[in-house]
Amino acid sequence: MNLLFTCAGRRNYLIRYFKEIIGGNGKVIAVDSEVTAPALAEADMAMTVPSVFATNYVETLTEIIRDHKIDLVIPLNDLELPIISKNRNKLEAFGAKVVVSDPDLIDLCADKWKTFKYLERLKIPTVKTYKKLEDALVALSDQSLNFPIILKPRWGFGSVGIEIVSSETELRLAYQLLSIKINKTLMSSTGVNSSKNPIIIQEKINGEEYGVDIINDFNSQFYGAFARKKLAMRSGETDKAVSVIDNRLTDMAEKIGKATGHIGVMDCDFFIKDGEIQLLEMNPRFGGGYPFSHIAGINVPGIYVEWMKGNRNVEKYNGYEANVLSSKYDWIMKIKNGNSEVD
């Protein structure tokens, strides 16, 4: 079984986990537009490819899938998800399975305003959210919203562009500054900032934060949910966490998984304050917090491979335990020189 990771970036751990599962029975291939992407050095074979915004990006991936007889494709970057999803049939033309959700769900998860309205329709508690500065100011005036509050790009990636403000003056200044910042980021090249409301304003929840991996199978059927309490963050990703088993989180996650019908792993952010659970964001891909779930006993790479083989019984890869405390650390990877291939 040959696997392809696109936009591999810093996901060394995923490369390692899948290599452990397939052993010598196939290859793990990783691609990225940057030859210095550390995950490339972990793969059995690595290649540089055009930017996700290049006109020949999909064509290049299709050639790799064909030439290397790829069985499973796992995209890892938010920016490429809509591109991969819209071109799934083309990418799967040579027999590969692409683990990506439908375009409408990708769009819904990327747009924080659409996410908010969707959760409202599902009657799933979420944070108060406003897409217009004027609406937030009215809410502050009638005290249905209180400082501190958070400003962030409506189409955001990680912790890019997040501002926390504590006064109206600070709010107005931060709103203006963030508008300028958005036009200077990668988001400007996607066209998503063409909206008149590229910024959303949300209440700041001072509660316990949880990451939950909601797993559906390749037919969009709910399999399970695996939660971790976030103890520390760095650069928008979980840095330290402890695994938890909480039926309240599991039940809400099951409702979400069944409603969205996503494919594979969906990384979600929850808050618990005064006993109330609120869902903040949904990311239909492997998230930076997945290693904490993995080390606590849920082996998604093993499950994916079994599903690819047509096996439905995957319980040998599910030994999830509560109270597993873990922490990330950095390591240095030596990058071999080369124009297009690092192996």
Its sign, for the CA torsion 219, 303, 11, 96, is: negative
The pLDDT value given to residue 161: 79
- Both tokens of 255, joined, read 């409702």
The pLDDT, as a whole number, for residue 195 is 59
| Domains, the chain, ordered by start | 3-100 (3.40.50.20), 128-203 (3.30.1490.20), 208-327 (3.30.470.20)
pLDDT of residue 139: 98
**Residue reference for tokens 């591109």:** 83
Q: Residue 159: left (phi > 0), alpha (psi -120 to 50), or beta?
A: alpha
User: C-alpha 174: how far from its chain's center?
Assistant: 26
Whole-structure pTM value: 0.93
Please report, as a single letter, which amino acid is at residue 127. Answer: V
What are residue 210's phi and psi, to 5 degrees? -130, 145
| 3-class SS shares of the chain: helix, strand, coil, % to 5 | 35, 25, 40
**H helix or E strand, kind and range, residue 294:** helix 290-295
Q: For the chain, what is the mean pLDDT? A: 93
Strand order in the sheet with 149-153: 129-130, 199-203, 149-153, 163-165
308 vs 193, more confident: 308
Say how far residue 155 (Cα) sits from the centre of its chain.
13
- Over residues 179-234, the pLDDT tens digits come to 888 877 755 555 555 557 899 999 999 899 999 999 999 999 999 999 999 999 88
